[in-house]
Every structure is written in C-alpha cells, then in structure tokens.
C-alpha cells in the first residue's frame, strides 16, 4: 500500500521540487520509502512521485518508480496484486526473469508479455501509473471495485494525478475552482459520484477503467475493462441452496486467503456482524495461529457493537483487541475530517473507522475489512423496504398513479418550506414519475431531491451525469438486482471505499477488502435473488454459511451499522463547534449556500423539532469544514 502522484506537463514548467512536495503530501500513505523521477519526452515532462508502505518484499528491491529491464517502461503502483505469485510462475515459463519478490515487478513483466490487457489477469486492488516510452503513452489504471483511489486533473496542457486530491494543491498551476455540478451532487447524496470531483477539470478515474494519454497529440481516452453489469445481465444460475452455499464457501475462502499474503502482520476488523464474522471464521478455521481481530466500542450502549464482537471472537478463538472510544476521543477527530478526506464526504462513520484503524496499527500493518457484503449479497434493510414500497406503488390504480401529473404549484403548497424537514410529498411525485426501478431507488435513497438542493444553493443547481444514469445498460428484470447494481456502482466506491481508504491510510494502515474480490462479485451477481434476500431476510446465503461456524443465537441481532451519536453530540455538547462553522458570516463568506434557509434549518434542529433530518445539517457542517480547510 502506497501513495502515488505525478504529472504530464506539455509546457515543461514543472520541476523535481514540486514533484517532491506532491509526494510528501502523501507521507501518511507511505512512510517507509520515497522515490521521484522526471522523464523528459521531447518538450514534455513526465513526473512520477511515490511514497511506500512496504508490504510485499520489504527490501530495497521493491523501490519505486520501477523500470523494466530495457528501460522502456516506468511504473508507480499503489495496492496489491494478490495472484502475483501465480503470474510470476507463468511469466517465468515464458522466459521472464525477476530481480525482486515484489508484485510491482510482476505488473511490469505482465505488461511486457500481454500489453495493457494484462490488467484483466490481475486479482487485487490497484491504482497504477505506467509510462510506455515506445508507444509514447501514459496509462492510469484503477481496480475493478474502486478500492484504491485515483484522481486526475487536466487543464492548460498540464495533467496531474494522485492517490488523493491534496497532492494537486502542491502544484502552482492547479486551479482551485469549485465544480458547482459536483457540489449539487454532494448535497443530493452526501458524496460525489465518479467521475466527478469537487474541483473543476478534476476527475475520479471510474473503477474498472483505465485512462490513456497520448503524448504525441495530448489526447485523453478512458476505456472500460471490467463492468459488473455484464454479470447481472447473465442468466441466473440454476443451482440448489446447498450447492450454492458450498460453492460460495469455496470462492470466499480462496479470496480471503489471498488477502492474508503479506510480509508484515495482518489482522481483521471484527464488528460482530455477519460479514466480518464470516471473514474471521473462514480465516481462523484454516489457520494454525490465532487471527488478530480488532473492535472499537462506544460508551453509548445503543451504538456499541463491542459485546457482540467479543462473543464472536471468543467462539472462534481469535486474539481479540478491543478499544472503547470516549466522547472526547471521537470529537477530537471531527476537525481532522477535511484533512483525512480531502473531498467533502458526509459519512460520519469515518470517525470510528479512523479510530479502529489507529487501534489496529499498533499491532499490524494490514487489516482486512468486510465492506461490500451488503452491496453484493443484499445486506441493507433499505432493499426490502424499497422492494415493498415499489411493489405497492405498482398496485395503485391508474388514477392514483396520475398524482405525478399534478401541477407543481399544488405540491409546493403541501410541501414543507423548511429544508431541515424532508419533502416527502414531492419525493413521492418523483418516484411515481420514475422511468426505471434504478431511478426510483435512487430517488428513495438520496438525501435531498434536486428541488431541495436548488433551494439550498445560491447558484443554479446542476446535476451532471454519473453512474446513476447508466441503468439502461442493465437488462435484468429482477428489482433487487437493480438496487444492488445501483449501490455497487455509486455508494460503495464513492462513499464506503473512499471512507475506508482515507481512514486506514491516514494512520499508515493497509486496508484490504476480501468480499470485493471480482470472483465473489461476479458469482453473487448471477445468484438468484432469493439467495440474497429471502422473505425479508437479508444476506440469506451468507447467514446460512456463517451459521456453519458460529451459532445462530450469537449472530442474530438487529443490524446496527458503524455509526456514532453525532446527532446527540452536536445537539448538546458540541453546539459551539457546529455554530463556529454554520453561521451567517461563515455562510456568506463561502458564498454557495442560502444563509437564511440554513439558519432556519439550524433553528428547527435546536428547537426540538423531531422531523428534522440531522444528516442534512451534517452535510452542511462537513462542507463548511472542508471549505475552511482547502479554500479559505
């Protein structure tokens, strides 16, 4: 796990000092080593900067930037190729020889053997920058699920790229102009979906894609090499429940074992929920040593998962480590949120994720998380609720469905004028007008409607196209497939995985996501819906498999999620902190939000109105924190 950054400067105005400053901004991602190189290609400068967290081959042989034996290729790479040993064996049989045991060198030789199509052979998480001097091209490559981040910027014949946005601020030519369309998306969803980014001319490389920049003509092109849609569009597997459980266990076990390969200590985040418990159970059953597990608890009992995790750890016999987070320890993280996540991200669970990562880093360098299980095996309660809701709407008589055609002025009369209170009447109208189940599900799950975002912003709200609008490529008739596809392509990479990457790397911990192995995702996409959501029982198949190793009475409990009581804290002990960011002067200074409407929201919140949606307040608070850090 590392941090990568660099530039392609067609003007030739960059230098090694700027490149070093860019990589120094990623010190937390790679404290073990650094490397910098500028390659001069005619009048163009290609800069490669690198920070290393040594995981595979801890020797100097793993240093980056790394070159091919003939000097033709130069690479920097963040992530892990879990099947690098198998690929090495194949390459050696074809005449390749290696100087190190690093997976970086395997990537180079794979490209030498198979060209850019080599990425289809990789099992892993990765963000790669590779320069091919013969083809006169630079490739930027991102893994299938989007576990590893990769941002890029292109303006005035200058391309910048990096693992985090903060590297761009180190280059004098970077223009910090807010993308108003991206800001609209942030308030709509609580995160900014790829390929968009908070800054103009700045993008996230979409998962499962690679970008090619032609150094001869400056042309930039993105290419999809893997898409989960292809697997949802396949016919459903005709398989019995028992056979499905057996095959699922085989696929999961192989993927989980891959994630334990490292030359440093490895542990597992254990919440006591089904996903993390199953990961731990399958790893522990095949291990001669006790797996190190880590859990964070909270003083507030309704948010505390630690007792559940403790029971699971005791049953499985892991080496368990538990930390109880105090109110003050959690609150101390809030001012750090804009530094940890340098793009606005309103997921408050970044706080406990950071704290459990900090705990684990004292013992291990790699920690396995269990993200992705909800999005691939239908773990969220919202799926059953949305299915029920949309099925009921289908049964409405035609006159009721025509409610969507009622003029807007009527809905304005029955809709609340206070943005702190969700406009459910207008939302129902939008759902009734939806052209597709994915569109309806998106409206159900989004935090604010487009109309509400417009009322919040001072400028015209724009909503640029993203993966939310790609639903026409999905051919399956199953409603649940539509929901899972939606979350896999949006919420998972742009909220969950961004949060985990930033929180783990902030403390120099490598986070691995075993449930997002492509073979698991491809398998799950082809399973019948009843194996995922069965009579409102979420993650049906994973539950059955988990009960093979952990008694049902230990596992069965209400899903809690990884949250902390920020609502309670902001309403009481942390009023001053909230007001320091959200006040008329600060709002007018930043100049993007309607100060009067925000003040009305805050008044409703503190006046005890139980209908107030605190998540809206939190989004504004995080935005203002971010603005103060990176713009002001």
Q: Of the candidates 590, 449, 458, 462, which has an alpha carbon nearest to the alpha carbon of residue 181?
A: 462
Where in the sequence numbering do the catalytic residues fall? 2
Residue tagged 């001319």 (tokens): 201
Q: 């900090």: which residue's tokens? A: 358
Nearest to 346 by CA among 331, 334, 355, 358: 334
Q: Measured between alpha carbons, how far is 596 from 583 in angstroms, rounded to an integer?
A: 10
**Measuring CA to CA, which residue among 234, 210, 14, 239 is closest to residue 107?**
210
- Report the relative pairing of strands 137-142 and 209-214 from DSSP bridges: antiparallel
Determine contact, residues 298/271, Cβ cutoff 8 Å.
Answer: no
Helix (H) or strand (E) holding 8: strand 2-9
Q: Would you give the DSSP letter of residue 619?
A: H
Which residue is listed with tokens 């299980």? 373
Residue 519: strand, helix, or coil: helix
The tokens describing 531, both together, are 């194996």
CA distances from 407 to 37, 401, 430, 585 (A): 62, 14, 12, 37
Helices (H), 70-195: 84-93, 103-114, 180-189
Strands 124-132 and 266-269: unpaired
Tokens for 360, please give them. 């684990």
Residue 383 tokens read as 């799926």
CB 347 within 8 A of CB 491: no
| CA distance to 111, 184, 216, 366, per residue, from 220 (Å) | 20, 26, 11, 35
Of 594, 498, 573, the residue nearest 191 (C-alpha): 498
Taking alpha carbons only, the member of 271, 273, 281 closest to residue 249 is 281
Q: From CA 486, how far away is CA 34, in angstroms rounded?
A: 38
* Cα distance between residue 459 and residue 593, in whole Å: 8
Phi, psi of 371 (to 5 degrees): -70, 150
| Residue of 52, 47, 54 whose CA lies nearest to 7 | 47
According to DSSP H, which parts of 435-516 are helical? 437-445, 450-456, 479-489, 491, 497-505
Task: Give the chain's end-to-end CA distance (angstroms, integer).
Answer: 32
Structure tokens at 186: 């942030």
Torsion on CA atoms 25, 26, 27, 31, rounded to nearest 10: -160
Q: What does the alpha-carbon distance between residue 13 and residue 319 come to, in Å, rounded to a whole number? A: 53
């Amino acid at each position: 796990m590392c941090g990568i950054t660099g530039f392609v400067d067609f003007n030739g105005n960059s230098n090694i000092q700027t490149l070093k400053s860019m990589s120094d901004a990623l010190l937390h991602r790679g404290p073990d080593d650094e490397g910098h190189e500028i390659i001069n290609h005619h009048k163009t400068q290609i800069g490669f900067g690198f920070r290393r967290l040594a995981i595979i081959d801890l020797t100097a042989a793993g240093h980056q930037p790394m070159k091919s034996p003939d000097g033709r290729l130069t690479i920097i790479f963040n992530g892990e190729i879990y099947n690098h040993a198998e690929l090495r064996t194949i390459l050696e049989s074809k005449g390749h020889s290696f100087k190190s045991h690093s997976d970086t060198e395997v990537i180079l030789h794979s490209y030498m053997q198979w060209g850019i199509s080599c990425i289809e052979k990789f099992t892993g998480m990765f963000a790669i920058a590779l320069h091919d001097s013969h083809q006169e091209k630079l490739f930027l490559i991102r893994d299938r699920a989007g576990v590893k981040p990769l941002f890029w910027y292109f303006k005035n014949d200058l391309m910048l790229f990096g693992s985090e946005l903060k590297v761009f601020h180190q280059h004098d030519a970077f223009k910090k102009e807010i993308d108003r369309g991206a800001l609209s998306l942030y308030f709509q969803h609580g995160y900014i979906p790829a390929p968009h980014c908070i800054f103009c001319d700045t993008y996230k490389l979409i998962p499962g894609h690679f970008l090619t920049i032609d150094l001869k003509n400056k042309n930039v092109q993105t290419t999809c090499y893997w898409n989960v849609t292809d697997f949802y569009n396949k016919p459903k597997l005709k398989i019995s429940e028992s056979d499905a459980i057996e095959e699922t266990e085989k696929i999961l076990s192989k993927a989980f074992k891959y994630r334990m390969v490292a030359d440093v200590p490895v542990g597992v985040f254990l919440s006591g929920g089904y996903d993390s418990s199953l990961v731990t159970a399958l790893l522990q059953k095949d291990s001669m040593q006790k797996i190190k597990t880590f859990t964070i608890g909270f003083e507030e009992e309704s948010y505390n998962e630690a007792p559940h995790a403790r029971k699971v750890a005791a049953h499985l016999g892991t080496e368990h480590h538990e930390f109880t987070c105090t109110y003050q320890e959690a609150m101390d993280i809030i001012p750090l949120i804009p530094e940890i996540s340098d793009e606005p991200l309103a997921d408050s669970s970044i706080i406990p994720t950071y704290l459990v990562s900090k705990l684990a880093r004292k013992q291990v360098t790699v920690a396995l998380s269990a993200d992705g299980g909800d999005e691939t095996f239908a773990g969220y309660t919202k799926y059953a609720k949305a299915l029920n809701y949309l099925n009921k709407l289908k049964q409405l008589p035609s006159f009721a469905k025509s409610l969507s055609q009622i003029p807007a002025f009527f809905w304005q009369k029955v809709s609340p004028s206070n943005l702190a209170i969700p406009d459910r009447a207008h939302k129902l109208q939008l759902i009734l007008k939806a052209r597709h189940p994915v569109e309806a599900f998106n409206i159900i799950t989004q935090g604010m409607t487009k109309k509400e975002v417009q009322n919040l912003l001072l400028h015209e709200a724009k909503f640029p196209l993203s993966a939310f609008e790609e639903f026409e490529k999905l051919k399956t008739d199953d409603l649940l497939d539509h929901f899972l596809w939606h979350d896999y392509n949006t919420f998972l990479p742009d909220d969950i995985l961004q949060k985990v990457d930033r929180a783990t790397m902030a403390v120099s911990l490598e986070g691995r996501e075993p449930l997002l192995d492509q073979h698991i995702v491809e398998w799950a996409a082809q399973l019948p819906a009843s194996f995922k959501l069965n009579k409102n029982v979420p993650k049906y198949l994973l539950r059955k498999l988990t009960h093979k190793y952990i008694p049902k009475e230990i596992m069965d409990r209400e899903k809690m999620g990884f949250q902390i009581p920020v609502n309670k804290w902001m309403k009481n002990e942390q009023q001053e902190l909230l007001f320091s960011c959200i006040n008329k002067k600060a709002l007018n200074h930043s100049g993007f939000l309607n100060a009067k409407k925000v003040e009305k929201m805050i008044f409703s919140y503190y006046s005890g109105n139980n209908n107030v949606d605190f998540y809206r307040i939190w989004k504004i608070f995080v935005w203002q924190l971010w603005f103060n850090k990176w713009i002001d």
